[in-house]
Amino acid sequence: MRKNEQTKTNEITLSFLMAVFTKRLIPLFLALVVGAVGAFALTKLFIDPVYSSTAEFSVENTSNEAGVMNSGYQAGAAQFAANYANEVKGNVFLGQILKAYNEEHGKALTLAQLSSKISASVKGSLPVFAVRVSSTDPQEAYDILHIVEEMAPELLLNDSTKAYVNVKLIEYGSVATSKDSPNILINTALGGMLAFVFVYVLFFLKAF
């Protein structure tokens, strides 16, 4: 008996939800359209597109003494790459890049601004790290990255590691031709869905 009552209650609930939808189909559709158009307009008018350029560096063992550094270095190669990726985001490294960029391009970029544009990450377990520069100006992103490409191998190595470690640029960056964000299609779809759900909830509460 309880099972039949529970099934009946579920059926009534589902039919009630469908009734709210079918009776308010036109305003719900309008909410969907208005939300999508609004999200599209806001994205186009108020969110600046961001472009990125990326370069990759490998960390190599240059020891000439076979067997002295090889085994230990290869086992911890990814850690070397991770350490260098962290150094790229440090103020000492960024300060040198900032000085070179401002002098070369006649800019007045601050350390905080530069720091917000640069990121670095290790590629899995490989002794490879990537440096990514993002900006609303694709040429600026490339210009900063180009200086990183030129200076990073020398800046990251110290006197104690130069004898057996080398940082080598293996993939050059380029001027971005397409933006990373925002994604207008996703934002438009989310805006429409949120507006639809919001209006539906209002109708549901009113009819409940």
Residues 68-116 pLDDT 10s: 444 455 556 778 888 999 999 999 999 999 999 999 999 999 999 999 9
pTM: 0.76
Residues 167-181 pLDDT 10s: 899 999 999 999 999
Over residues 179-193, the mean pLDDT reads: 94
* One-letter amino acid for residue 95 of the chain: G
Cα separation, 154 vs 165, in Å, equals: 11
Give the tokens for residue 33.
Answer: 């359209």
Can you give the pLDDT at residue 64?
A: 46
Contacts of 136 (CB under 8 A, 6+ apart): 48, 49, 50, 51
